[in-house]
Amino acid sequence: MDDILNHAKLLNDGIDGNLKLGYVGSATQRLIPQLLLKFKDTNPNVLINLTELDNRRQIQALLNQEIDIGFVRMERVPKRLEIHPAMEETFSLVLPTR
């Protein structure tokens, strides 16, 4: 019932929907800003809620339907979830010179 009332309020305010995103902090450097700008261009009336969560908490929030999408740094997720690569990056070990 709360979801229905919240959705009705959003519609009354001219908002078509609410998208709840979870993310790890490093995703805010480049990935999320680029994706959000593109999304807002085609979906200007969707309210986006961002919540910073570690990988484990995002998986739990997805399973509990507390967030709609998660940006994690994982290769595998539980079978009830789908994973789609959003970007690839180089992982490097950096050491001081002697």
pLDDT given for residue 60 in this prediction: 97
- Is residue 62 in some structural domain? yes
- Is residue 94 in some structural domain? no
pTM of the model: 0.74
pLDDT given for residue 14 in this prediction: 65
Look up the CATH number of the domain holding residue 30: 3.40.190.10
Total domains present in the chain: 1
Ordered per-residue pLDDT tens for the chain, 98 residues: 676 677 666 666 666 778 899 998 877 778 888 889 998 888 888 889 999 999 999 999 999 999 999 999 888 899 999 999 888 877 778 889 98
- Is residue 92 in some structural domain? no
Residue 51 bridge partners (DSSP): 22
**What is the domain range of residue 7?**
2-71
Q: Which residues contact 67 (CB under 8 A, 6 or more apart)?
A: 20, 21, 22, 51, 53, 58, 61
